[in-house]
């Protein structure tokens, strides 16, 4: 079998009675590599994010997870911005961007904005798509947008956001039978805790 003859939606193997497709396998590998690079503050994370998001966008469309699919398009755009930020971004003082904390007041506003956007996106998905999990799909979608922007600005607070997003995503992908992706997001949760600790240490040292 050659790469040209592989059906990306064909089953590579079965996991807990559900087929795991080739596209999910490749997206899994790229995503783990991406998070490792994020924890290490390595800019390779961003092109990896673009590739993984493109694959997951196709997978989620195939699974009728339209919020998550649309999110992947946004991820690709934001990854370009994040890549530039990590390579060329500066602080308000004009110094190179370093790992740092968000001010406490800003944390509250960001949390409120994220929670307010959740039911609005859920309502939109419920009325404009044939998804069967509009609100469960919407919650990690809006949380991921928040996390991605915080990550792009090297803010430590991106990691607790990802912990919450990953836990909800485990439930979402379990409902849809995407078991390899469930395992991926369980691994992401552990890696987000690792990243949170590593970046908090970096923030204290700068």
What pTM was computed for the model? 0.82
Residue 206 has pLDDT above 80, yes or no: no
**Range of the structural domain that residue 163 is part of:** 13-205
pLDDT of residue 80: 94
Q: Is the pLDDT of residue 11 over 70?
A: no
Predicted confidence at residue 24, as pLDDT, reads: 86
Residue 148 confidence (pLDDT) above 80: yes
Look at residue 5 in the predicted model and tell me its pLDDT: 47
Q: SS3 letters for the chain?
A: CCHHHCCCCCEEEEECCEEEEHHHHHHHHHHHHHHHHHHCCCCCHHHHHHHHHHHHHHHHHHCCCHHHHHHHHHHHHHHHHHHHHHHHCECCCCCECCCECCCHHHHHHHHHHHHHHHHHHHHHHHHHCCCCCHHHHHHHHHHHHHHHHHHHCCECCHHHHHHHHHHHHHHHHHHCCCHHHHHHHHHHHHHHHHHHHHHHHHHHHC
Q: What pLDDT is recorded for position 12?
A: 63
Mean pLDDT of 17-46: 90
> Residue 92: inside a domain, yes or no?
yes
The per-residue pLDDT for 3 is 42
Percent pLDDT > 90 in the chain is: 60
Tens digits of residue pLDDT in 83-139: 999 999 887 778 888 999 999 899 999 999 999 999 999 999 899 888 888 999 899
Residue 86 resides in a domain = yes
- Would you say residue 6 has pLDDT above 90? no
Residue predicted with more confidence, 125 or 198: 198
Average pLDDT over residues 177-188: 87
Chain mean pLDDT for the chain: 88
Residue 130 counted as domain residue = yes
Whether 41 is in a domain gets the answer yes
Res. 71: pLDDT tops 80: no
Count how many domains the chain has. 1
């Amino acid at each position: 079998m050659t790469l040209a003859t592989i059906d990306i939606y064909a089953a590579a193997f079965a996991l807990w009675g559900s087929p795991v497709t080739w596209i999910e396998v490749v997206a899994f590998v790229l995503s783990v590599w991406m998070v490792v690079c994020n924890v290490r503050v390595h800019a390779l994370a961003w092109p990896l994010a673009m590739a993984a998001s493109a694959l997951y966008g196709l997978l989620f469309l195939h699974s009728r997870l339209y919020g998550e699919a649309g999110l992947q398009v946004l991820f690709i755009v934001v990854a370009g911005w994040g890549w530039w930020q990590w390579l060329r971004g500066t602080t308000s003082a004009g110094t190179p961007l370093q790992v740092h904390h968000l001010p406490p007041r800003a944390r509250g506003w960001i949390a409120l904005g994220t929670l307010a956007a959740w039911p609005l996106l859920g309502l939109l998905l419920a009325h404009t798509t044939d998804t069967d999990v509009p609100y469960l799909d919407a919650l990690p979608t809006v949380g991921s947008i928040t996390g991605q922007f915080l990550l792009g600005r090297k803010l430590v607070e991106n990691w607790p956001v990802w912990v919450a997003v990953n836990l909800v995503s485990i439930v979402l992908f379990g409902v849809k039978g995407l078991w390899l992706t469930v395992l991926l997001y369980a691994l992401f949760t552990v890696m987000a805790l690792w990243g949170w600790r590593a970046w908090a240490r970096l923030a204290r040292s700068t």
